Structure 1
Amino acid sequence: MKPQARRLSRELALQAIYSWQMTKNPVEQIELSIVTSNNMQKVDTEYFLELLRNVVKDCAELDKKMKPYLGRLPEELDPVEFAILRIATYELVARIDVPFKVVINEAIELAKSFGAEDSHKFVNGVLDKAIKTLRKDERS
């Protein structure tokens, strides 16, 4: 799959996870809305579905894994930053086939596109600390 297809998957997953965080609507409903309102031909749909379903399913565990690196309480995070960090944490933990540098770069790009002005700096800082534990073998 092309990198651009993965990037689009992450963008749609971010939108869907943000929507889920804000509305608490069933993930299936949000998934259907995203899939039917977007052109999915250039998207790695399988990856989008994996990110969305697993981040929602495992959010408590993902939050626990990222919490030590936040410098504030998770409920104090901007919802967009929170969704980005959940996606990146999932990828760091569950998708070891994706190099940590790619995970961090993609999260930074999402933060630049969708987050507040300096969100990318916060996201970068959190993930830079997190990889030392979550991907210690890859960092060595």
Structure 2
Amino acid sequence: MSRRIGRELCMKLFYQLEVNKDFGKENIDKFIEEHSHENFDKEYILEVANKFIENNEYIDSLIQKHSTRWKLNRIAKVDLSILRLAITEILYIENIPFKVSINEALELAKIYSDNDSAPFINGLLGSVVDEIEK
């Protein structure tokens, strides 16, 4: 099972939850059920989604702190979803190196965001990692 597919689905889940402004467990379960025909690591998505829900205020505060030009509500929802996914992995998924999380976030940005998003995401995630490593 491809972790990349899991990340992409997790980003889509975060986007959907943000658009609906409902981060309830039943929405996560419904999303997974709707995508059950796809080959992905269900446990990975559940772990990342649950870690984000448990820690969303802290994760969003990191995004806000390191986003010097934009308030959280002004960041494109796709970019916000990518950032939330990457920061959740960086902080709470121990078996994934920081560089992998950042690289995968950039790959998602290249597919789903505009040309300005990848440098923004890269810079913000780099700042978050620098803070964590201190």
TM-score category (smaller protein): 0.7 to 0.9
Give, in whole Å, the separation in 2 of the partners of 1:40 and 1:52.
19
CA distance in 2, matches of 1:27, 1:112: 29
Is the contact made by 2:23 and 2:53 (CA closer than 8 Å) also made in structure 1? no
Q: Secondary structure at the match of 2:115?
A: coil
Do residues 88 (structure 1) and 90 (structure 2) align?
no
- Greater relative contact order structure (CA < 8 Å, 6+ sep): 2
Q: C-alpha distance in 2, partners of 1:62/1:107?
A: 15
Letter in structure 2 aligned against 1:15:
K
- Give 2:87's aligned amino acid: T
Quote the Cα distance in structure 2 between the aligned partners of 1:26 and 1:124.
26
Q: Is the counterpart of residue 105 in structure 1 residue 98 in structure 2?
A: no
Question: Where does structure 2 lack aligned partners over 5 or more consecutive residues?
Answer: none
> Contact 2:48–2:93 at 8 Å: present in 1 too?
no
Residue 24 of structure 2 is matched in structure 1 by 27
Distance apart, 1:32 and its partner CA: 2.9
Q: 5+ residue gaps in structure 1?
A: none
1:61 is aligned to 2:58: yes
Runs of 4+ residues over 3 Å off in structure 1: none
Asked if the contact 2:51–2:92 (Cα under 8 Å) also holds between the matched residues in 1, the reply is no
Structure 1: distance between partners of 2:119 and 2:37: 30
The TM-score with structure 1 as length reference comes to 0.84
Distance of 1:32 and 1:64 partners within structure 2: 26
Which one is further off, 106-115 or 66-75?
66-75
Q: Which moved more, 1:32-41 or 1:63-72?
A: 32-41
Measure, in 1, the Cα distance between the counterparts of 2:35 and 2:133.
33
> How many pairs are equivalent?
133
Q: TM-score when scaled to structure 2?
A: 0.87
Identity of aligned residues (%): 29
> Relative to structure 1, is the Cα distance of residues 92 and 43 closer, same or farther in structure 2, using a 3 angstrom cutoff?
same
CA distance in 2 between partners of 1:135 and 1:45 (Å): 30
**Aligned residue type for 2:39:** K
